[in-house]
Amino acid sequence: MNFDDHDIEPLIDMVLRFSKAVAEGAARENLVLLAQIIAGLKKYRAFDPDRFRRWCKVLEHLSRDELLVIGFAYRAERELTGRTDAIDAFGPLLRATLNSAGYIEGEIEALLTAVGSSGLLSSASAYGGLAYQPTPWLSELGMLADIEAHTRT
């Protein structure tokens, strides 16, 4: 990846913000995602420190379990792309995947609520509880970084 002269100032801003995440004790997995986001922003010509700061705010303090939910959510979104029932199928597919990964219903609800507060999932009242849907931020994150990596380990 080549950086141009006009990339220097944004890169310095991003590196300083990344350093703050390191100093505040962000987990290694979170830091790897943030580094991937820097590369992704450059790759997709969206090299903007404000966008990177947004992703820092979203990702730097997520738990390993929350990162796993994000990875499974992105995978579910991709699996359902183009299906006419994608809106209705997303939540049940994500819940079933989390259940298969060993989470019980109370844990699943807590994790979905936590991830929802990050802006990556949205929730709406539904019969018997909440229905979750992916937001455009989830798609953008999946484009910028390998958020499914945690689901493969």
Query: What is the CATH number for 137?
Result: 1.10.10
d(CA 68, CA 15): 25
Which structural domain, as residue segments, surrounds residue 140? 64-152
110 lies in the same domain as 148 = yes
96 lies in the same domain as 137 = yes
Number of domains, the chain: 2
92 lies in the same domain as 52 = no
83 lies in the same domain as 143 = yes
Q: How far is CA 21 from the centre of its chain?
A: 16
The partner residues of 133 in beta bridges, in order of sequence, read 122
Give DSSP secondary structure letters for 100-145: HTT--HHHHHHHHHHHHTTTSEEEEEETTEEEEEE-HHHHHHHHHS
Residue 150 has pLDDT above 70, yes or no: yes
99 lies in the same domain as 46 = no
48 lies in the same domain as 85 = no
d(CA 111, CA 56): 19
Q: How far is CA 43 from the centre of its chain?
A: 18
pLDDT for 6: 87
136 lies in the same domain as 110 = yes
36 lies in the same domain as 72 = no
- Write the pLDDT tens digit of every residue in 68-122: 999 999 999 999 999 999 989 999 999 999 999 999 999 999 999 999 999 999 9
